């Protein structure tokens, strides 16, 4: 069974469509776990109305804990052998999307995670002025590490599972047993950002399992995200990115400064 984790923060205007996309396109047995995180709009009401015809659903509540902790709350309640994180600004548009995302797990025995969004590698930025800086700036992104070797819908064929060192959250399928063994997302990265990349690096170093992109059809607009103010990233997100980029590089410089995964596996 697949466990779909959907965390929601003030998306009353969109969350009905998000849940409808899941209901219309998910096949075989699944459970939907919705984490309503600090919502002050009508999100809870919309969620409760939309999940009534789902066989297996759970609605949980959090006190505005943001993405990392909210994801963990839902993941730790999941019973499926595969867990899938879908964010509250993602409209699933492909029938059978969940079974498609599982194909790399079936084809290869060394897979921990599959994203339908973007997979990429990280390299150290030799020109960064941020490394060693004690302050966490709130007006720019941290550039200690840079992402490269991107694999996503726009540049890989549909039948390719593109293995890289990191994948981006949402839609993101993971092996639940492995995730449990790793202790889920490390909440040192709260409120959010870089926790997914930290997890992928920890899994590779401890379990020798990989991650990559195998895309599906979904829609997600930048303007729908909850981390922007008037179209720009919120200052708290910049600050979190600086804090977490430093933690990430300090932990994983061994892999970041080594040859990266850059393998395209064809699924037939």
260 within some domain? no
257 within some domain? no
Phi, psi for 58 (deg, rounded to 5): -140, 135
* pLDDT value of residue 226: 59
* pLDDT value of residue 228: 47
CATH number of the domain bearing residue 194: 3.90.550.10
263 within some domain? no
71 within some domain? yes
Q: Where are the alpha helices (DSSP H) in 52-194?
A: 66-75, 97-107, 176-182
Kindly give the parts of the chain with pLDDT less than 50.
228-229
Closest CA to 224 of 4, 5, 10, 6: 10
Q: How far apart are CA 248 and CA 126, in angstroms?
A: 16
Q: How far apart are CA 94 and CA 98, in angstroms?
A: 9
Q: What is the pLDDT of residues 124-162, one digit of tens each?
A: 999 999 988 989 999 999 999 999 999 999 999 999 999
Strand partners, 132: none
Q: How many domains does the chain have?
A: 1
Q: What is the pLDDT of residues 228-239, one digit of tens each?
A: 445 678 888 999
Closest CA to 193 of 68, 63, 37: 68
CA angle 247, 253, 255 (to 5 degrees): 125
- In this structure, the strands spanning 228-229 and 118-124 are unpaired
Q: Which domain holds residue 33?
A: 2-119+148-225
Buried residues in 238-253 as b, exposed as e (16+ CB within 10 A): bbbbbbbbbebbebbe
* pLDDT value of residue 167: 97
135 within some domain? no
133 within some domain? no
Angle subtended by helix axes 15-25 and 43-50, to nearest 10: 20
**Secondary structure class of 100 (helix, strand, coil):** helix
103 within some domain? yes
Q: What is the pLDDT of residues 211-221, one digit of tens each?
A: 999 999 999 88
| Structure tokens belonging to residue 216 | 């599906």
Phi, psi for 96 (deg, rounded to 5): 80, 20
CA angle 236, 211, 84 (to 5 degrees): 65
261 within some domain? no
């Amino acid at each position: 069974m697949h466990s779909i984790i959907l965390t929601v923060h003030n998306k009353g205007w969109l969350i009905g469509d998000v849940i409808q996309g899941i209901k219309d396109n998910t096949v075989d047995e699944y459970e939907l776990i919705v984490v309503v995180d600090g919502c002050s709009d009508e999100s809870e009401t919309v969620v409760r109305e939309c999940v009534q015809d789902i066989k297996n659903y759970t609605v949980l509540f959090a006190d505005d804990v943001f993405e990392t902790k909210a994801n963990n709350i839902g993941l730790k309640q999941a019973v499926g052998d595969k867990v899938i994180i879908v964010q509250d600004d993602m409209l699933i548009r492909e029938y059978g999307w969940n079974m498609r995302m599982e194909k790399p797990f079936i084809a290869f025995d060394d897979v921990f995670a599959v994203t339908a969004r973007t997979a990429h590698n990280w390299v150290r930025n030799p020109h960064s002025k941020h490394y060693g800086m004690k302050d966490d700036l709130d007006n720019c992104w941290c550039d200690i590490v840079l992402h490269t070797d991107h694999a996503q819908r726009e540049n890989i064929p549909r039948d390719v599972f593109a293995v890289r060192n990191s994948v981006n959250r949402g839609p993101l399928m993971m092996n639940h047993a492995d995730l449990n063994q790793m202790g889920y997302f490390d909440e040192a990265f709260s409120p959010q950002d870089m926790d997914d990349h930290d997890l992928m690096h920890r899994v590779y170093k401890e379990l020798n399992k990989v991650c990559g992109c195998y895309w599906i059809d979904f829609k997600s607009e930048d303007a729908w995200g909850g981390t922007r103010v008037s179209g720009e990233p919120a200052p708290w997100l910049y600050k979190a990115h600086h804090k977490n980029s430093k933690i990430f590089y300090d932990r994983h410089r061994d892999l970041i400064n080594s040859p990266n995964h850059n393998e395209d596996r064809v699924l037939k």
